[in-house]
A and B are shown apart, each in its own frame.
Chain A
């Protein structure tokens, strides 16, 4: 199979959905001739024109709210928010409108739209362009939250998101955009709520998201040489969350590390740890560990930002700690 990058996979997903369904339109800042800040919409303006690929003003509440109104009345908009940090400028539209409409209206009406955002530090862009607060959306009933970690997953999950009848927060990752992987040329869908076991192992379960899936796989590969077999579970979607796969894995290994780039407090790590503690604590041989971002804003200065971030080494250390419990 051919290899393409994560951003190209996303681009293919958008193109194929737009070719197939006229109701799919794109809105966002600099998504037209510029191709989007991370090139995900590259070439789509030329193919589909200014009516369907709309360069919006810097006006998040305006165009996200407009996407909601359009979705309610028969369209399938995909809005791009340049960085997840900027969702704060339209949080009312996301939390009070988009997420709750169907419920408030007693099941009448639906809001089939996708809000594409991205997370991740490491680019020296400090505290307002580097955040990873995707857990926040997991906290809001009514939203689907998707977290692809590979080009293959990115394409299949974005196509699913566009075809789904619910509002989806589609969380991309900056450091993954240039990563490569096998991606079929044809259109395909990956269902929500089904975690993917990216590597099987019997000793430790690592539930990892986004770029940390890649880091966890690298750690697992090395640890395997030392006789430690790590199972890497990628939830794929945080809402709905495939608890069953996570719990079954922990029941098998008896050890859990959750690796996620959101802050530690009230984040994905906290939620998954709590689920495991509530539902299968009797299977645990060790405490649960979390590798998450510190509870600080993302700092600018390179040594500080480096310290804020973590990867294979921190994960390896945590896995080794878990293995000290027998």
Chain B
């Protein structure tokens, strides 16, 4: 299916929002303005953008420790996102979760997750819930290549396929589990082949091509919504930054500068920008103005986060029980 220009511009805007938001995080962390850990998604934006565009507002996602892109693409707003990263009480989790636990039940975001592989069974249950409640909601479950070695991956795919649950399992194969390359952590190259063991379709897609991701994800979502069961989608992509901000030399200890450079040349945003401008040179200015507008929104989000208060000390004891 050929997508309209407007849709592609939406993709551009979303990918660029994620990219520029995280570029700003790089800067804020380097200056010590934000506490804790940040695991950045830079380079992988096409996956979240392409997949979440296929979802409805009432669909669900589960995310990972590298979750900023997923939650922004599913509809999280920048102000409470930034406030949460700053640990402020106006953040998505009142400052109690931080970067690794952003959740918004109203937007169907069932939580980023600090445990690798932790989201897979939860996504399976959200899918089961839709089946029990007889809705046609779909759950998209994001996880990485390294999590596909965890028992939760296998248990979840088994359950989801056995019960034909409306889940799409989106493996972001960025070729590293922290510092360990895929070649060192599993004997296979294509994680999608693991779908065969669970009798579900396994699809491989260029995770740096938002149009290709979107096409594959739409089919998987359509199949899930029709009650035909789950799909494993493997998106081949790459993490530009280190495992987290503060990772020595941003990962150069365990991978080469050449490798990083080669993947940067496959930038998903440049790829789409070039295509749009090639098709219509006049779009160059429009895209630049989109960038400007996003940067302004991010400025506002930083100002907002800075201006908000930290939670009061007694809030530490709240929200443990319902």
Does B110 touch A at the CB level, under 8 Å? yes
Question: What's the nearest-Cβ distance from chain A to residue B177, in Å?
Answer: 17
Q: Are A73 and B159 in contact (CB under 8 A)?
A: no
Total interface residues in chain B, CB < 8 Å:
46
Please, how many angstroms separate the alpha-carbon atoms of A106 and B95 in the complex? 7
Quick one: closest A residue to B116, CB to CB? A92
Does A295 touch B at the CB level, under 8 Å? no
Please, how many angstroms separate the alpha-carbon atoms of A267 and B93 in the complex? 33
Does A194 touch B at the CB level, under 8 Å? no
Question: Cβ of B96: which chain A residues have Cβ within 8 Å of it?
Answer: 103-106
Q: A69-B122, A74-B133, A166-B322 are in contact. Are A108 and B91 (CB under 8 A)?
A: no
Q: Are A65 and B97 in contact (CB under 8 A)?
A: no
Quick one: closest A residue to B98, CB to CB? A104
Does B130 touch A at the CB level, under 8 Å? yes
Does B162 touch A at the CB level, under 8 Å? yes
Does A141 touch B at the CB level, under 8 Å? yes
Q: Are B128 and A66 in contact (CB under 8 A)?
A: yes
Candidate in A52, A56, A65, A107 with the most chain B CB atoms within 10 angstroms: A65
Q: Are B103 and A65 in contact (CB under 8 A)?
A: no
Q: Are B320 and A65 in contact (CB under 8 A)?
A: no
Q: Are B320 and A62 in contact (CB under 8 A)?
A: no
Does B183 touch A at the CB level, under 8 Å? no
CB neighbors of B among A49-100 (8 A) = 51-52, 54, 56-57, 59, 61-75, 77, 92-93, 96-97
Does A198 touch B at the CB level, under 8 Å? no
Q: A65-B121, A105-B97 are in contact. Are A142 and B321 (CB under 8 A)?
A: yes
Question: What's the nearest-Cβ distance from chain B to residue A139, in Å?
Answer: 14
Does A101 touch B at the CB level, under 8 Å? yes
Please, how many angstroms separate the alpha-carbon atoms of A67 and B96 in the complex? 24
Q: Are A108 and B322 in contact (CB under 8 A)?
A: no
Q: Are A104 and B321 in contact (CB under 8 A)?
A: no
Q: Are B121 and A93 in contact (CB under 8 A)?
A: yes
Q: Are A61 and B155 in contact (CB under 8 A)?
A: yes
Question: Cβ of A112: which chain B residues have Cβ within 8 Å of it?
Answer: 322
Question: What's the nearest-Cβ distance from chain B to residue A24, in Å?
Answer: 10
Please, how many angstroms separate the alpha-carbon atoms of A69 and B139 in the complex? 10
Question: What's the nearest-Cβ distance from chain A to residue B207, in Å?
Answer: 25
Q: Are B124 and A66 in contact (CB under 8 A)?
A: yes
Question: Cβ of B159: which chain A residues have Cβ within 8 Å of it?
Answer: 56-57, 59, 62-63, 66
With beta carbons under 8 angstroms apart, the residue of B60, B91, B103, B151 that contacts A61 is B151
With beta carbons under 8 angstroms apart, the residue of A25, A106, A166 that contacts B91 is A106
Q: Are A106 and B93 in contact (CB under 8 A)?
A: yes
Does B120 touch A at the CB level, under 8 Å? yes
Question: Cβ of A67: which chain B residues have Cβ within 8 Å of it?
Answer: 125
With beta carbons under 8 angstroms apart, the residue of A69, A103, A106, A109 that contacts B125 is A69
Question: Cβ of B313: which chain A residues have Cβ within 8 Å of it?
Answer: none
Q: Are B97 and A73 in contact (CB under 8 A)?
A: no
Q: Are B129 and A141 in contact (CB under 8 A)?
A: no
Question: Cβ of B118: which chain A residues have Cβ within 8 Å of it?
Answer: 65, 92-93, 96-97
Quick one: closest A residue to B130, CB to CB? A73
Question: What's the nearest-Cβ distance from chain A to residue B29, in Å?
Answer: 21
Q: Are B115 and A96 in contact (CB under 8 A)?
A: yes
Candidate in A61, A74, A106 with the most chain B CB atoms within 10 angstroms: A106
Question: What's the nearest-Cβ distance from chain B to residue A63, in Å?
Answer: 7
Q: Are A69 and B103 in contact (CB under 8 A)?
A: no
Contact with A along B110-141 (1 / 0, CB 8 A): 11011100101111111111101100000100
Q: List 18 A-B contacts (CB under 8 A).
A: A23-B133, A61-B151, A62-B124, A63-B121, A66-B128, A69-B122, A69-B128, A70-B126, A73-B125, A92-B115, A97-B115, A102-B321, A103-B320, A104-B97, A104-B101, A105-B93, A106-B97, A109-B105
9 cross-chain pairs, A with B, having the tightest CB-CB distances, nearest first: A65-B121, A69-B125, A62-B155, A106-B94, A66-B125, A106-B93, A107-B319, A165-B322, A69-B122
Q: A63-B121, A108-B105 are in contact. List 19 more A-B contacts (CB 8 A).
A: A23-B132, A23-B133, A51-B132, A62-B156, A62-B158, A63-B155, A65-B122, A65-B152, A70-B129, A71-B125, A75-B132, A102-B319, A102-B320, A104-B103, A107-B94, A107-B319, A109-B105, A142-B321, A144-B321
